[in-house]
Amino acid sequence: MAERDFSSKTLAGHILKGVLGFGSLIGAFALMPFVGLWSLLLLPLGVVALKGCPMCWTLGLIATISRGRLKRQCDDDGVCHLV
């Protein structure tokens, strides 16, 4: 089974995706009184920027921050530890 990796190459890039994603989701509803249902066109942009859901983006943020610092090491008996 393939593992899903929600992390980004850089922390700045991941934060930029978060600002774009959350900004689009909030803007879609905040702009509704001014531009009507046309503001809902921002929803797909927000969903794509957040890779499907806000929790996926959050997991990616944690993975991006910990990249290179935490590694899984498994012993011969099948027990794995974070190092």
What is the per-residue burial (b if ≥16 Cβ within 10 Å, else e) of 60-73? bbebbeeeeeeeee
Q: Which of 32, 75, 27, 68 is nearest to 49 (CA)?
A: 27
Half-sphere exposure (CA, 13 Å, Cβ side) for 34?
6
What pLDDT was estimated at residue 23?
Answer: 96
What pLDDT digit, counting tens, does each position of 13-50 carry?
Answer: 999 999 999 999 999 999 999 999 999 999 999 999 99
Sketch the domain layout of the chain as residue ranges. 11-82
Question: Residue type for 32, please?
Answer: M
Most trustworthy range by pLDDT among 43-47, 55-59, 63-67: 43-47
DSSP reduced 3-state for 33? helix
